Structure formats: structure tokens, C-alpha cells
Amino acid sequence: MGGGAAMGGGGGGGMTSQPPQVTSGSPMTPTGTVVSTPQPVFEQSYIENILRLNLGKTGTFYMTFENNSEWNAKIFKGVIEAAGRDHIIISDRATGQRFLLLMINLDYVTFDEPLTYQYPGAAGNGSRATSRNCW
């Protein structure tokens, strides 16, 4: 019993201490130490994310459609309403018509105004995201 009391006394101090606060997904060493990793504060530089940063701006979208006997390439101009991983929704303010464009067909986009562009890994970003206007 004396041995058990000694164990209990030694383990009791460890049992009453609080476990470390762990951010979800934070790695731990084999000894139980939490390794702090900086959390990303901005999205990666993918086309859909750049388009999302520029919702409400007018762009000209150049699209190519393979194996189309009617038209191989087409140009769409409109205001960006939404952008997803595989699609873009734009609207033509003059006609009110909306277009759902597939990213797989997108060649490039032009804009007549500066873009807001949030870019990862730029020197001097520190812990906050940096936005800038691109010409």
C-alpha cells in the first residue's frame, strides 16, 4: 500500500494539471508537447479565390470549347456574381442575363479596372494577409 500511495502521490500532481490547449490539427511531439504552427490567414492563390476577391467587378472571360462544331471559342463579358472551384457566375447588366461558365473552359480573364489580389508567401506579409490593387 505504501508503494501505491507513493505512486498516487507522485501521479496526483500530474493528474490535477490541465492538459495543454491544442488548436485542432496542431502536431504533438511523442512527449506530449504541442508544436505551434502558424495558421494561414488568407486563401491560396487560385483563380476562384482571386475572382471571389473581385466580386462585383466587370471582366471579359475568354473561353474555349473543344470539339464544338458550332463555335470553338467564345467571349463573355459581365459582372462577377460568384466563383466556385469549377464555375463562375457572371451577369450582363444591360440584358440581365446570367451565365454559368465552367472553369475547365476558361482561358483567361481581362479587367478594365484594378484587381484586389491577396497573395500568399509575399515578403513582409507577417501574420496578416496583404491585399493590393494590380494593374
Burial level of 88, CB count in 10 A (0-12/13-18/19+)? buried
Q: What is the pLDDT of residues 17-42, one digit of tens each?
A: 666 666 666 677 788 777 776 665 55
pLDDT at residue 122 in the model: 52
Residues of the chain with pLDDT under 70: 1-26, 37-44, 120-135
pTM for the predicted model, two decimal places: 0.59
What residues contact residue 52 under an 8 Å CB cut-off, 6+ apart? Answer: 43, 82, 83
